[in-house]
């Protein structure tokens, strides 16, 4: 019997489950076991579309279709929990298994806290994540830096600090990620800042870090993160769909070390990117200038896992002039007030912004400031930590703060009982 914290090397048992996965297929085999045994009604994951730059979300109900979704798509920058909220009624009436990167797992927590997804019905299969590359960036980078036609690439991989592309003719070329990022290429800026490398919010966390020796590339390193995850793993092992072994002691060490190095890299990228934003009124001026390109398409609102309150659009519409673009800066200020404390740095509001406004950078910087100022914990990491700002219950874009340090009690609004804070730009 496995338990939370247990670690294994695992792979699909070829005699029972002919899965060709990224690193031995344990993830696909676990999903297959869950679907075949009706632990879930459907699996939400991604599959390759027309090419490797085209990651398509896919809802699978027939276990035979799972093979189509096996493998890792590093240009798959989707946020699957948002789809569960929007199109699957938050999994309120169906049981779902879903593959989650760190940002997906954190989004799921923030949506669950706001009552938008039912975590009891969701089985999260976590994927360790060193970062993803936006599809347009990948094509540009492969053309300009690799000197290769992006349409000739059949597979990409991030290994030992390199972004490697495999070509139709069987050759491959890798360039160090550091070298790419120095010239503004490589992983998405939010991925460079990311500190969630092993998504332990999920029921099980899977990846290739720490798999060494003869199992390298052929097995997945699995960490059990919940009772639900343990039950799934034990069931699949008992049914013989996956095989497993104890991880190599050196492999355990390597995985810990890599995780720490990656987290430090994330912190360094934060320091660098936030410093480039400037501070105080200079930062605010920069944000205003960048936001002046806004065409009020609402993508940053629609795609954000935090701005999922029913009232936000109405609040925005109330406070800006209809039909006018760019909208008054108030449009952004309202959004910031909702998201600021709980931004999980998923990057969606930036990557999908048609005007290339660095929204995620603004919000991540703001979240870190709020965390430092008020001691509010890491968003997306603790289900017991209530959201700071929400407007589901009563209309209005005011900040609603809970669990504040005693020093902020002076801001308590006696009438409503909420703690309110006016955030002013500081020098």
Binding interface with ligand SF4 (CB under 6 A): 101-103, 129, 131-132, 190-191, 194, 196, 294-300, 303-306, 339, 343-349, 353-355, 357, 359-360, 363
What is the nearest approach in angstroms of ligand FAD to the Cβ of residue 74?
5
Number of Cβ within a 10 Å radius of residue 337: 20
Provide the greatest CA pair distance for the chain: 71
CB-side neighbour CA atoms (13 Å) of 23: 25
CA–CA separation, 314 vs 272, rounded Å? 36
Q: Residue 202 Cβ, how far from ligand SF4 at the closest point, in Å?
A: 11
> Choosing among ligand FAD, ligand SF4, none, which partner's interface includes residue 69 (Cβ < 5 to 8 Å by kind)?
ligand FAD
The encoded tokens of residue 258 equal 């890599």
* CB of residue 207 to ligand FAD, shortest distance in Å: 3
Q: How far is the CB of 259 from ligand FAD (least distance, A)?
A: 9
Q: What does 296 interact with, of ligand FAD, ligand SF4, none (CB < 5 to 8 A by kind)?
A: ligand SF4
Whichever of 249 and 406 has its CB closer to ligand FAD, that residue is 249
The interface partner of residue 23, options being ligand SF4, ligand FAD, none and the CB cut-off 5 to 8 Å by kind, is ligand FAD
- How near is the Cβ of 395 to ligand FAD at its closest, in Å? 36
Select 22 or 110, whichever has its Cβ closest to ligand FAD.
22
Judged by CB, which is closer to ligand SF4: 69, or 303? 303
Q: Please identify, using beta-carbon distances, which residue of 43 and 320 lies nearer to ligand FAD.
A: 43
DSSP 73-133: -TT----HHHHHHHHSGGGSSS-EEEEE-HHHHHHHHHHHHTTSS-GGGEEEEEE--S---
Residue 3 interacting entry, from ligand SF4, ligand FAD, none, C-beta within 5 to 8 Å by type: none
Residue 149's nearest CA partner among 132, 127, 168 is 168
Burial class (CB in 10 A: 0-12, 13-18, 19+), 29: buried
Closest by Cα among 295, 239, 206 to 63: 239
- Would you say 28 or 291 has its CB closer to ligand FAD? 28
Q: What share of the chain is helix, strand, coil (3-state, %, to 5)?
A: 40, 15, 45
Q: Which two tokens stand for residue 325?
A: 């673009």
Residues making contact with ligand FAD (CB under 6 A): 19, 21-28, 45-46, 55, 69-74, 76, 99, 101, 127-130, 132, 158, 206-209, 220
**∠ at Cα 80 (44, 56), nearest 5°?**
70
Sheet of strand 172-176: strand arrangement: 153-159, 162-167, 172-176
Query: Nearer Cβ to ligand FAD, position 60 or 400?
Result: 60
User: Residue 25: which of ligand SF4, ligand FAD, none does it interact with, CB under 5 to 8 A by kind?
Assistant: ligand FAD
Which of ligand FAD, ligand SF4, none does 208 bind, CB closer than 5 to 8 A by kind?
A: ligand FAD
Beta bridge partners of 207: 221
Contacted entry of ligand SF4, ligand FAD, none for residue 26, CB cut-off 5 to 8 Å set by kind: ligand FAD
User: Which CB sits closer to ligand SF4, 297 or 383?
Assistant: 297
């Amino acid at each position: 019997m496995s338990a939370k914290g247990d670690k294994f090397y695992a792979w699909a048992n070829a005699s029972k489950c002919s899965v060709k996965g990224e690193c031995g297929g344990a993830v696909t085999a676990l999903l297959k076991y869950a679907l075949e045994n009706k632990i879930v009604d459907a699996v939400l994951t991604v599959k390759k579309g027309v090419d490797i730059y085209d990651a398509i979300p896919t809802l699978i109900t027939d276990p035979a279709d799972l093979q189509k979704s096996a493998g890792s798509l590093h240009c798959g920058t989707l946020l699957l929990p948002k789809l569960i909220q929007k199109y699957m009624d938050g999994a309120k009436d169906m049981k779902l298994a879903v593959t989650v990167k760190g940002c997906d797992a954190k989004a799921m927590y923030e949506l669950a806290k706001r009552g938008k997804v039912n975590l009891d019905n969701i089985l999260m299969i976590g994927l360790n994540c060193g970062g993803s590359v936006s599809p347009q960036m990948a094509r540009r980078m492969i053309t300009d830096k690799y000197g290769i036609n992006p349409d000739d690439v059949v597979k990409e991989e991030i290994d030992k600090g390199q972004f490697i592309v495999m070509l139709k003719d069987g050759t491959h070329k890798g360039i160090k990620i550091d070298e790419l990022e120095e010239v503004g290429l490589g992983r998405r800026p939010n991925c460079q800042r990311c500190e969630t490398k092993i998504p332990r919010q999920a029921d099980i966390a899977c990846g290739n870090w720490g798999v060494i020796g003869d199992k390298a590339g052929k097995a997945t390193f699995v960490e059990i993160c919940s009772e639900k995850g343990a039950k799934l793993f034990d069931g699949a092992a008992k049914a013989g769909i996956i095989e497993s072994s104890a991880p190599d002691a050196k492999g355990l060490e390597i995985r810990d070390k890599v995780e720490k190095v990656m987290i430090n890299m994330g912190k360094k990228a934060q320091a660098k990117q936030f410093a480039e934003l400037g501070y105080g009124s200079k930062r605010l001026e920069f944000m205003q200038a960048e936001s002046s390109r806004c065409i009020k398409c609402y993508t940053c609102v629609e795609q954000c896992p935090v701005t999922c309150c029913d009232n936000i659009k109405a609040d925005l519409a109330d406070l800006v002039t209809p039909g006018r673009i760019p909208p008054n800066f108030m449009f952004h200020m309202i959004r910031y007030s909702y998201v600021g404390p709980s931004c999980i740095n998923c990057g969606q509001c930036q990557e999908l912004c048609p005007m290339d406004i660095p929204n995620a950078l603004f919000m991540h910087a703001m979240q870190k400031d709020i965390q430092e100022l008020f001691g509010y914990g890491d968003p997306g990491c603790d289900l017991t930590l209530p959201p700071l700002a929400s407007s589901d219950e009563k209309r209005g874009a005011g900040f609603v703060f809970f669990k504040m340090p005693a020093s902020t009690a002076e801001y308590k609004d006696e009438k409503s009982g909420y703690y309110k804070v006016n955030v002013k730009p500081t020098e």
